[in-house]
Amino acid sequence: MAEGFRALARLSALGLFAGAWAGPAQAYPWMVAHKYTSCGQCHVDPSGGGVLTGYGRALGEQLLPRGGGEDQSADPGKAKDFLLGAVALPRWLQLQADVRALGFPRPTLDAAGEVSGWDARTILMQSDLRAAVEANGFVASGSLGAVSEGAQAAWVSSRDEGANLVSREWWAGFKPTKGLLVRAGRMNLPFGIRSEEHTQYVRTVTRTSINADQQAGVALAAQRKGFRGEVMAIAGNPQVAPDRFRERGASGFVAWAPLKTLEVGASGLWTTAEADVETLQPRTRASEGLFARWSPASGVAVLAEADLLHETGDSQALGAATLAEVDWEATQGLHLRGIGQWCDTDFGDDSSGLATGWAAAQWFLLPRVDLRLDALHGTLRCTPGAEASWYGLGQVHFYL
């Protein structure tokens, strides 16, 4: 009996983990199953994530919720617009509000390991207002919101207790010609598969998630005839202090889609800092990787990524992280997902690699609203020597 309740406690622990690490969604790489390999059609950020374009909003109304329909020529009308069209916006402005919350029961155990009571915990993981401006080749985007826990690298305020303001993205740029965007500001790092799955090993060990891993710098993004790519000079994160903790370097990827249902790509990243935020020692890290997105059958998307990891500092290490994911749209609006991941941050130490199996169900039950349940066996982070356990969580997300 006590073991069962300890398992429930582990479920609650994942809730705490989600509160610390969960972040923005709206980056669905399984859209390759609908023959979308590029990201710039649906997102103001050409590599995906962040504010949706008008086209992206319309497509979301048609493809995501149950009963939306595959007819992309049908005009969803005002239903696609900000606040469902209640407020008319000029063509050059996009506004978007995202809210994501986690609620879960938490058992209280006595000294004997028996349940002595229950309480409930609700974590505000995301409450962002996002804006984007596009006019005469000028493009700008930014976000401001609040979290009750986590996402420290994106904090604007710095309260030890209670909610903190966060700004994950803020950048401006221009399009000198069709298919090119030059921009500067705090942006998502161009590397690997841009995904809402920010807790996966390949995102955490490379520090390229869309939760709070954005960096300031200058970037050039290009897209033409099945090719897309982006390269970024990293100047550091001004929301991290003091300066010696800020990473500087470069990151980029290039991808090719020979078919509407297949994209393959390669990534590279190199950064250095006077002091690492975890070890407080000088650190240089680099990653090189390959990734692919493929739809072998209608409603099915296969995602894969493999990254090498290099690190120098007080010690040197060579490691790797891999990801394999299958997303099946069982019926429109219901996605069932199986994920396998593996990592080893240092092949030369005594710790063996870590593996995690992950299952998820995501239901877009209404326009702008989705529910998600996750269950996994393994480790929450790629931490050498960590013990595998069972975990689970549930969350709700909606955007306007």
What local confidence, expressed as pLDDT, does residue 301 receive?
Answer: 97
**How far apart are alpha carbons 157 and 162 in whole angstroms?**
11
- 129 in a domain, yes or no? no
- 13 in a domain, yes or no? yes
- 23 in a domain, yes or no? yes
Domain range for 278 is 2-122+178-399
Give yes or no for a contact between 233 and 217, defined as CB atoms under 8 angstroms apart: yes
Instruction: Encode pLDDT of 40-75 as tens digits.
Output: 889 999 999 889 998 888 888 888 876 655 555 667
The pair of structure tokens assigned to 307 is 């990254």
**How far apart are alpha carbons 259 and 35 in whole angstroms?**
9
What local confidence, expressed as pLDDT, does residue 109 receive?
Answer: 67
- 326 in a domain, yes or no? yes
The pair of structure tokens assigned to 290 is 């390959």
**How far apart are alpha carbons 351 and 348 in whole angstroms?**
8
What local confidence, expressed as pLDDT, does residue 5 receive?
Answer: 41
Residue with tokens 């790489």: 29
DSSP 42: T
CA 24 to chain CA centroid, Å, is 6
Residues 6+ apart with CB under 8 A from 320: 306, 307, 308, 309, 343, 344, 347
What local confidence, expressed as pLDDT, does residue 20 receive?
Answer: 37
What local confidence, expressed as pLDDT, does residue 43 receive?
Answer: 93
- In this structure, the chain runs to a length of 400
Instruction: Encode pLDDT of 304-345 as tens digits.
Output: 999 999 998 767 889 999 999 999 999 999 999 999 999 999
The confidence band for 371, taking pLDDT boundaries of 50, 70 and 90, is very high
Q: Say what percent of the chain tops pLDDT 70.
A: 87
The pair of structure tokens assigned to 231 is 């390269």
First to last CA, the chain: 44
**How far apart are alpha carbons 54 and 95 in whole angstroms?**
10
Cβ-based neighbour number of residue 324 at 10 Å: 14
- 87 in a domain, yes or no? yes
**How far apart are alpha carbons 1 and 309 in whole angstroms?**
42
What local confidence, expressed as pLDDT, does residue 58 receive?
Answer: 87
Cis omega before residue 242 (within 30°)? yes
**How far apart are alpha carbons 138 and 183 in whole angstroms?**
10
Residues 6+ apart with CB under 8 A from 390: 7, 10, 11, 375, 376, 377
Instruction: Encode pLDDT of 318-327 as tens digits.
Output: 999 999 999 9
**How far apart are alpha carbons 344 and 134 in whole angstroms?**
43
322 CB-side CA count, 13 A: 8
243 CB-side CA count, 13 A: 1
Question: Of 382, 383, 335, which Cα lies nearest the Cα of 28?
Answer: 335
Question: Of 67, 61, 64, 54, which Cα lies nearest the Cα of 34?
Answer: 64
- 78 in a domain, yes or no? yes
Classify the phi-psi angles of 162: left when phi > 0, otherwise alpha if psi is within -120 to 50, otherwise beta. left
Helices marked H in the chain: 2-21, 54-63, 201-204
Give yes or no for a contact between 263 and 36, defined as CB atoms under 8 angstroms apart: no
- 291 in a domain, yes or no? yes
What local confidence, expressed as pLDDT, does residue 350 receive?
Answer: 84
Q: What is the CATH number of the domain that holds 234?
A: 2.40.160.40
Domain count, the chain: 1
Instruction: Encode pLDDT of 188-219 as tens digits.
Output: 999 999 998 888 999 999 999 998 999 999 99
- 173 in a domain, yes or no? no
Query: Beta-strand (E) ranges in 148-236?
Result: 164-166, 170-174, 180-187, 215-224, 227-236
User: By three-state DSSP, how is residue 106 classified?
Assistant: strand
pTM, entire model: 0.88
What's the sign of the alpha-carbon dihedral 60, 63, 67, 72? positive
